[in-house]
Amino acid sequence: MLQVPERYALFIDNEPVAPLSGDTLPVVDPSDGSTFAQMGRGGGADVDRAVRAARRAFDGSGTEPAAGPWGRLDAVDRGRLLRRWADLIDANREALARIESRDTGKPLGQARADAQALARYFEFYAGATDKLHGQTIPYRHGYTVLTLREPHGVTGHIVPWNYPMQIFGRSVGAALAAGNACVVKPAEDACLSLLEVARLAAEAGFPPGALNIVTGLGGEAGQALAGHPGIDHISFTGSPDTGRRVAQAAATHHCPVTLELGGKSPQLVFADADLEAALPVLVNAIVQNAGQTCSAGSRVLIEAPVYRRVLEMLAGRFAALRVGPGRDDLDLGPLVSQRQQQRVQDFLSQAHADRLEFAAQGTVVEHAPAGGFYQAPVLVAGVPPAHRLAQEEVFGPVLAATPFDDEAQAVAIANGTRYGLVAGIWTRDGARQLRLARQLRAGQVFVNNYGAGGGVELPFGGVGSSGYGREKGFEALYAFTSLKTVALRHG
Ligand code: NAD
């Protein structure tokens, strides 16, 4: 059984190590606002230490590339290690879920699903290590041309606080499977589960330096990682503004970047839709993780003839939602931090001042501790497409409902934000399903479902301010490799 220690170190070369400065940051329990542990405040020098450890694991000490204990490991053996790690995560699933729930505030059931998804990512990528191959290309007479998929070398991973285990799993799982050594910077608001998961990697038998974790502040450890010349690829998941800063820092040494950013994802409900099937999915898409989900379905666009009916059905469900401490495993837990709570309340105050219709809201249970960061889920109706609530990511449990008259208007409203992450279509009309799937500007489109339960196998990523590059599925493996073309002239 994993224990929650009071002091968390960084994780470098398979060892817990204190930051060179000796500084720590408080770890806050969002359910009551108390500090229950301290985490290391890593800085630039710690990042440098972690990058050197990763380089040794990948390159070794000589001049030959990829000759370190991790870099020269056979693909099949990388897969076996990932598989062993997945099994250890599975065996420790409950303990990991409890840590994640306490650290992020999410309901225990949702944290359990995250731990399960983490194991599933490693299982998926474990099976892929020895199936990632190049091609031979028909070329001129007397030549043989082939392509090699090679790991970048050392990859950096900057992770947000909303789904630490899942986002770590999808990005680090694919990077390690492709043969890279990793340096990870978790979010300052939620990092404990990842330190435990790293410890399990050492137990599974990963060589020292293959996986390193530097906790700390974004502007310190994060910025240092993004700009470190020893990093060969950066995978960033977080807000669009930080993503821009990370890409700029990486550009100083021409380091490729994958950006997984925010969203304002719409669900389009047509009058012919199966409303009974749609309703629970529409609600869950904004309530899950208290709306702190990049792919949250935060806008619902409803065809005029059924607008009032759908609104009433949604309102009934919103009114029944309950919010409380993560350990109570209700519909929603607290938001992750006071800052996040303030952000959501600012959006709601503006909606109120603009006289938008507050159609329904859930309840924070009476026994929820006063110091916790609770926010009842809110359904706001009649939101004009240009309103801030329909344009900007709230990152909280606020659903904006907007009516539309016809298909063309629905598409124009859906595509009318700077984001393009996910979209949902609810209709029984097959031709419309395909037409809209093509017309909607998004990295993923779901028809008569939403999110597909996470879908480890499904490539994921955005367009516009939702980012670029793809993670998850087999596609991620290509992103974590560099393609080399070898042309042999043999006559
Ligand atoms: P954030 O951008 O504030 O922080 C994300 C990470 O970046 C954290 O680890 C943080 O410490 C680090 N960071 C902050 N400043 C940095 C800097 N200057 N240089 C390098 N790193 C820095 O985002 P957040 O508030 O933690 O997460 C919420 C955002 O993440 C939302 O916009 C959400 O949509 C997005 N998100 C996107 C996805 C996706 O897959 N597209 C998934 C989850 C979250």
Which CATH number do you get for residue 86? 3.40.605.10
The pTM (predicted TM-score) of the whole model is 0.96
Tell me if 60 is assigned to some domain.
yes
Confidence of residue 235 (pLDDT cuts 50, 70, 90): very high
Which pLDDT score is estimated for 6?
A: 62
| Distance between CA atoms of residues 218 and 409, nearest Å | 40
Amino acid present at 485: T
Instruction: From the CA of 223, give the closest atom in ligand 1.
Output: 19
Tell me if 491 is assigned to some domain.
no
Residue range 171-178: mean pLDDT, rounded: 98
Residue range 324-337: mean pLDDT, rounded: 98
Protein residue closest via CA to atom 12 of ligand 1? 218
Residue to mutate (ligand 1; options 158, 338, 418; most atoms within 8 A of CB): 158
Tell me if 429 is assigned to some domain.
yes
| Domain limit, last residue, from 261, 294, 324 | 261
Residue range 96-117: mean pLDDT, rounded: 98
Sheet of strand 15-17, all strands in order from the earlier edge strand to the far edge: 15-17, 10-12, 211-213, 181-185, 154-158, 233-237, 257-260, 467-468
- Does residue 421 surpass a pLDDT of 60? yes
Tell me if 91 is assigned to some domain.
yes
CA atoms within 13 A on the CB side of 231: 37
Does residue 245's CB lie within 6 angstroms of at least one atom of ligand 1?
A: yes
Tell me if 469 is assigned to some domain.
no
Confidence of residue 61 (pLDDT cuts 50, 70, 90): confident
Whether residue 150 lies in the annotated active site: no
- Residue 414 tokens read as 């859906």
Protein residue closest via CA to atom 13 of ligand 1? 218
Confidence of residue 63 (pLDDT cuts 50, 70, 90): confident
Does residue 237's CB lie within 6 angstroms of at least one atom of ligand 1?
A: yes
Do 195 and 301 lie in one domain? The reply is no
pLDDT digits (tens, 9 = 90+) for 456-491: 999 999 999 999 999 999 999 999 999 999 999 999
| Distance between CA atoms of residues 112 and 100, nearest Å | 9
| Distance between CA atoms of residues 41 and 434, nearest Å | 49
Whether residue 260 lies in the annotated active site: yes
Q: DSSP secondary structure string, 240-298?
A: HHHHHHHHHHHHTTT--EEEE-----EEEE-TTS-HHHHHHHHHHHHHGGGG--TT---
**Number of CB atoms found within 10 A of residue 313's CB:** 17
- Does residue 7 surpass a pLDDT of 80? no
Instruction: From the CA of 216, give the closest atom in ligand 1.
Output: 11
Do 312 and 331 lie in one domain? The reply is yes
User: Residue 364's domain is classified under what CATH number?
Assistant: 3.40.309.10
What's the gap in Å between 237 CA and the centre of ligand 1? 5
List the catalytic residue out of 100, 123, 196, 260. 260
Do 272 and 253 lie in one domain? The reply is no
Do 409 and 440 lie in one domain? The reply is yes
Residue range 356-370: mean pLDDT, rounded: 97
Do 138 and 277 lie in one domain? The reply is no
Sheet of strand 136-137, all strands in order from the earlier edge strand to the far edge: 136-137, 143-151, 481-489
Which pLDDT score is estimated for 2?
A: 47
Q: Which of 113, 178, 128 is nearest to 152 (CA)?
A: 178
Tell me if 477 is assigned to some domain.
no
Do 152 and 214 lie in one domain? The reply is yes
Cα-Cα-Cα-Cα dihedral sign, residues 450, 453, 459, 464: positive
Strand partners, 140: none
- Residue 68 tokens read as 């370190």
What's the gap in Å between 76 CA and the centre of ligand 1? 33
Residue range 307-332: mean pLDDT, rounded: 98
Protein residue closest via CA to atom 22 of ligand 1? 218
In the chain, the number of structural domains is: 2
| Distance between CA atoms of residues 286 and 276, nearest Å | 17
Protein residue closest via CA to atom 10 of ligand 1? 218
Do 385 and 407 lie in one domain? The reply is yes
| Distance between CA atoms of residues 390 and 276, nearest Å | 25
Tell me if 460 is assigned to some domain.
no
For tokens 């017309």, name the residue: 439
Supply the range of the domain harboring residue 443. 266-455
Tell me if 461 is assigned to some domain.
no
Do 305 and 336 lie in one domain? The reply is yes
| Domain limit, last residue, from 261, 277, 300 | 261
Residue 340, SS3 per DSSP = helix
State the first-to-last Cα distance of the chain, in angstroms, to the nearest integer. Answer: 64
Burial class (CB in 10 A: 0-12, 13-18, 19+), 66: middle
| Domain limit, last residue, from 261, 286, 321 | 261
Confidence of residue 435 (pLDDT cuts 50, 70, 90): very high
pLDDT digits (tens, 9 = 90+) for 371-414: 999 999 999 999 999 999 999 999 999 999 999 999 999 999 99
pLDDT digits (tens, 9 = 90+) for 138-168: 999 999 999 999 999 999 999 999 999 999 9
- Residue 25 tokens read as 């940051």
- Does residue 1 surpass a pLDDT of 50? no
Do 379 and 341 lie in one domain? The reply is yes
Do 149 and 283 lie in one domain? The reply is no
Q: Are strands 143-151 and 154-158 parallel, antiparallel or unpaired?
A: unpaired
Residue 68, SS3 per DSSP = coil
Does residue 185's CB lie within 6 angstroms of at least one atom of ligand 1?
A: yes
Do 201 and 338 lie in one domain? The reply is no
Which pLDDT score is estimated for 8?
A: 85
What's the gap in Å between 238 CA and the centre of ligand 1? 2
Do 282 and 217 lie in one domain? The reply is no
